[in-house]
Amino acid sequence: MSPPSDHVALSLELLDDVFVVQQVPTGDPIPSHILERLGKSEGQGFISITRTDEEISIVYNAVHAPDESSDIQRLDLANWRCIRIKGPMDFGLTGVLCAFTTPLKAAGVPIFAVSTWNTDYVLVPKDKVVEAKAALLQDGWKFQ
């Protein structure tokens, strides 16, 4: 399923950073290092916090993870790379995320998607980034 349009807003960018995907139980506080960064206005990179009745999911640049002496187990947290759709995308566009993830599914690449007002971010395991990029290029997506 190729991109729904060849519009420049649908070009892709593989971000340089490695990302952390962390799950926090709803009764636990959001880690202080995340709240501190969230409150600053510049240079904090990507931070996403999503809360549901079952859990809190947090995604952020691994460079902002606390050191290894913290209580966060870092074993498998910082294993993600992020592909950003350039955006901003018009809310009238449909099927973008489906078109984006279909070739990744066919290539056996797991994803963790985060949507914002302007665009979508799709995280892939860092050991699958070569396969992800190849699958997207073969499907007609263009990287900046």
Angle between helical axes of 96-106 and 129-138 (0-180°, round to 10): 120
Instruction: Determine the Cα–Cα distance for residues 7 and 48; give it in Å rounded to an integer.
Output: 26
**Residue 67: its pLDDT value, please?**
60
Q: Please, what sign has the CA dihedral across residues 27, 44, 50, 127?
A: negative
Is the pLDDT at 112 greater than 80, yes or no? Answer: yes
pTM: 0.84
Least confident of 33-42, 59-68, 103-112: 59-68
Q: Which residue would you say has higher pLDDT here, 92 or 109?
A: 109
Q: Please, what sign has the CA dihedral across residues 12, 103, 99, 61?
A: negative
Q: Are 120 and 100 in contact (CB under 8 A)?
A: yes
Write out the two tokens for 59.
């995604």
pLDDT tens column, 47-75: 999 999 998 999 988 876 766 544 444 43
Instruction: Determine the Cα–Cα distance for residues 59 and 79; give it in Å rounded to an integer.
Output: 11
List, in order, residues 6 or more apart from 67 with CB less than 8 Å away: none
Write out the two tokens for 69.
């002496």
- The architecture in CATH of the region 8-138 reads 2-Layer Sandwich (3.30)
